[in-house]
Amino acid sequence: MNIASFLLPKAEVAFLRDDMTLRQGLEKLRRSGFTAVPVVDVEDRYVGVISEGDFLWNIISHNNSLDAITMKSLEHMVIRDILQSGKVGAVCIDTAMEELLERAKHQNFVPVIDDRSVFIGIITRSDIIKYFCDRKN
């Protein structure tokens, strides 16, 4: 089975760039309505996934007092400073559906890259589950 038919292309996916400030990233994440999104570098290579929790815990750890946190203070760090690379691995377009299912046990979506590590989109956990449910019937 070719997973390309399940791919939600990058043009339709909310993602962040690793050189965005925390403020820019938080604002875009909030507008997206998602709790986690892929992160790419300036050359569109996949570098990881960032979540609300990543923002929260890093903001708190870099501020001695919660009262000191302002939107202005979030302009001094960029997303690559807080990103935990390797936390959510991407797959290639020729990955088997069984491998996608294994990945989807731990995350809501699976990032997909091409052979140059360029981010091309995601496959959602719900699409993976639907595939296996339809196969059973």
CATH of residue 112's domain is 3.10.580.10
At 81 the pLDDT is 86
d(CA 84, CA 8): 24
The predicted structure's pLDDT at residue 4: 86
What was the pLDDT predicted at 63?
63
Averaged pLDDT, groups of 10, the chain, 137 residues long: 87 96 92 94 95 85 61 77 81 90 88 95 92 82
- Can you give the pLDDT at residue 117? 93
For the entire predicted model, the pTM comes to: 0.86
How many helices (H) and strands (E) are present in the chain, helices listed first? 5, 7
In sequence order, what DSSP letters do the residues of 61-103 get, joined into one string?
HT-S-GGG--TGGGGS-BHHHH--TTSS--EETT--HHHHHHH
**How many domains does the chain contain in total?**
1
Range of the domain at 126: 3-136
In the prediction, which pLDDT does 97 show? 86
